[in-house]
């Protein structure tokens, strides 16, 4: 019987840990913007045929602080909280990524 109690306590502890380490919507937005800015600064995003996109990339490379408002308009973040994690869909600049927010981290896969 003690093993059963210990097992239940262990399971509840893990669920509580997962719940309290699930990133909030604000955390996810900060992660997304930080990742985007690091890719822009690292020149991972190449110039394309889209003139507006190219202008935004050049502006962001030269003055990153001016891009925050533009990114908030271009990148759409759909946040769906679950009990122990959050589903996150990030749309913008012609891509769509499905992510999981868990343990104060964001793990994504590009879907389109």
The whole domain housing 85 covers 2-110
How many whole angstroms separate alpha carbon 21 and alpha carbon 65? 29
Tell me how many domains the chain contains. Answer: 1
**95 or 78, which is more confident:** 78
Using the predicted structure, report yes or no on whether residue 42 has a pLDDT greater than 80: no
| Whole-number pLDDT of residue 44 | 59
In this model, does residue 45 exceed pLDDT 70? Answer: no
The model carries a pTM of 0.67
Taking the C-alpha atoms of residue 28 and residue 23, their distance in angstroms, rounded to an integer, is: 6
* Confidence check: pLDDT of 80 > 90: yes
User: Rounded to whole angstroms, how far apart are CA atoms 72 and 89?
Assistant: 14
What are the φ and ψ backbone dihedral angles of 6, each rounded to 5 degrees? Answer: -65, -40
């Amino acid at each position: 019987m003690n093993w059963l109690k210990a097992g239940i306590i262990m399971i509840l502890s893990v669920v509580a840990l997962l719940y309290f380490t699930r990133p909030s919507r604000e955390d996810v937005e900060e992660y997304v913007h930080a990742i985007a800015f690091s890719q822009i600064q690292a020149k991972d995003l190449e110039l394309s045929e889209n003139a507006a996109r190219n202008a935004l990339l050049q502006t962001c490379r030269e003055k990153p602080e001016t891009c925050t408002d533009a990114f908030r308009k271009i990148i759409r973040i759909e946040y769906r909280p679950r009990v122990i994690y959050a589903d996150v869909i990030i749309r913008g600049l012609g891509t769509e990524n499905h992510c999981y927010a868990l343990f104060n981290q964001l793990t994504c896969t590009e879907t389109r």
